[in-house]
């Protein structure tokens, strides 16, 4: 079949990132850093799937002089102690240089105490020694002392800026570029710039992934999310302005997809968080396919999207934030007319362990059957009183 032959041809011309790392004699972290720095080019399928490396790219790197030592040197990272040894200074002075912004971290990891340990490129430290030798000896310059006296620590901000700039260089799609910038804003700041919840949800689905996918411990991913957030007013303002510009370019190209719509890449079904095969998040809206009331898959009292993990509900009619149903002739919270119970009714059923008390919605106050039932109860209590 043609598709099978095409797949075999593509498999012969490309290899997986794990295979490429083994052939280039790089560790997982070294390979990921090389991709991030643009040293190694990878192909990411537009329709989704794992990244692959072309055979020509591997041959190009292998043909360079001094392989694999020269390639390893380009991605060699050191911590504070090793970096200080390379520069011939004390670890305290190296830390002061890093806090003042003289050297920029390229990566980090968490030690056993869950403290952030910054890593620096060894080649860049050598460039600092050649470029600014006065920073390594004698008294620190006044601008550096003023920064440190004010408690400034530029390490997280410089790492964040470097990471965003590299991802923007490696990213061509306007929506993906906007997603990269949006990662530096907290949910409140992001909602003020991007008021459309479907656009914010789209950011989380198209944000560039590492070469080996999302790995690491939950604590490491949480630390990454915290370090990515801009925490100074001038940086927050800059990220908001940049996001607005990237978002304008993305909207001019195409709108963000909505649940039930065809994908802009030609696929027939748009998969949103909360659907089959994807993790469910907080319900924030409704789709246009189901005829049954939506059941929240997250906190029922949530008033809207809280982040990239946004999930969509499955009902075209809206459900108010107070909990009462409004659509489709289902009545109020009790789903009058024998229909499916509304949102509050479902919540009450959960609280009472599935027991449902008799409701007047079956007949209403003006229902003859309900009136007759109440009259019989009154007569029964009157007879019991007379017997006493």
Inform me whether the pLDDT recorded for 191 exceeds 90.
yes
- Residue 54 in domain: yes
User: Number of folded domains in the chain?
Assistant: 4
Give me the DSSP letters along 207-247.
SPPPTT-S-S-HHHHHHHHHHTS--SHHHHHHHHHHHHHHH
| 249 shares its domain with 325 | no
Q: Note whether 185 and 129 are same-domain residues.
A: no
Give dist(CA 80, CA 77) in Å, integer.
10
**Percent residues over pLDDT 90 in the chain:** 52
Amino acid 141: pLDDT: 93
- Give residue 240's domain range: 167-253
Q: What is the pLDDT of residue 327?
A: 38
Question: What confidence score (pLDDT) does residue 170 get?
Answer: 87
pTM, entire model: 0.64
- Could you say which of 26, 51, 74 is where a domain stops? 74
Regarding whether 173 and 115 lie in a shared domain, the answer is no
- The answer to whether residue 191 is domain-embedded is yes
How far is residue 68 CA from its own chain's centroid? 35
DSSP state of 341: -
pLDDT at 209: 77
Give the pLDDT confidence of 157-188 residue by residue, as tens digits: 999 999 999 999 988 899 999 999 999 999 99
Look at residue 89 and tell me if it is in a domain. yes
* Residues 73-98: tens digit of each pLDDT: 999 999 999 999 999 999 999 999 99
Residues 41 and 6 in one domain: yes
Mean pLDDT of 55-61: 95
321 pLDDT higher than 80 = no
User: What pLDDT, on the 0 to 100 scale, is given for residue 71?
Assistant: 95
Answer yes or no: do 84 and 146 share one domain: yes
Using the predicted structure, report yes or no on whether residue 115 has a pLDDT greater than 80. yes
86 and 51 inside one domain: no
* Triad 289, 204, 274: Cα angle to 5°: 35
Position 330 scores a pLDDT of: 38
Q: What is the pLDDT of residue 50?
A: 80
């Amino acid at each position: 079949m043609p598709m099978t032959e095409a797949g075999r041809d593509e498999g012969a011309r490309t290899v997986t990132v794990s295979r490429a790392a083994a052939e280039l004699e790089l560790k997982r972290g070294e390979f990921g850093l090389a991709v991030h720095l643009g040293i190694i080019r990878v192909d990411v399928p537009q329709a989704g799937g794992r990244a692959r490396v072309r055979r020509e790219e591997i041959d190009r790197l292998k043909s360079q002089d001094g392989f694999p030592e020269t390639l390893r040197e380009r991605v060699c990272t050191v911590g504070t102690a090793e970096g200080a040894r390379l520069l011939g200074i004390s670890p305290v002075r190296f830390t002061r240089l890093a806090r003042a912004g003289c050297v920029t971290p390229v990566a980090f990891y968490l030690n056993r105490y869950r403290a952030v340990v910054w890593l620096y490129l060894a080649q860049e430290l050598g460039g600092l020694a050649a470029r600014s030798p006065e920073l390594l000896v004698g008294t620190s310059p006044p601008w550096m002392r003023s920064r440190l006296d004010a408690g400034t620590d530029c390490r997280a901000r410089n790492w964040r800026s470097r990471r965003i700039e590299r991802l923007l260089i490696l990213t061509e799609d306007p929506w993906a570029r906007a997603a990269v910038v949006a990662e530096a804003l907290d949910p409140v700041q992001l909602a003020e710039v991007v008021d459309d919840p479907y656009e914010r949800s789209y950011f989380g689905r198209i944000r560039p992934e590492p070469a080996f996918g999302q790995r690491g411990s939950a604590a490491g991913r949480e630390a990454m999310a915290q370090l990515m957030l801009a925490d100074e007013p001038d940086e927050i303002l800059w990220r908001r302005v940049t996001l607005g510009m990237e978002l304008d370019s993305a909207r001019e190209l195409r709108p963000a997809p909505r649940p039930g719509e065809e994908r802009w890449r030609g696929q027939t079904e748009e998969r949103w968080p909360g659907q089959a095969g994807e993790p469910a998040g907080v319900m924030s809206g409704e789709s246009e396919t189901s005829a049954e009331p939506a059941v929240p898959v997250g906190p029922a009292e949530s008033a809207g999207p809280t982040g990239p993990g946004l999930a969509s509900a499955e009902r075209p009619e809206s459900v108010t934030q107070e909990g009462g149903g409004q659509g489709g002739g289902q009545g109020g919270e009790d789903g009058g007319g024998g229909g499916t119970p509304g949102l509050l009714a479902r919540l009450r059923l959960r609280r009472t362990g599935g027991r449902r008390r008799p409701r007047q919605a079956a007949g209403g106050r003006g229902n003859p059957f309900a009136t007759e039932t109440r009259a019989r109860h009154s007569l029964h209590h009157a007879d019991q009183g007379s017997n006493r």
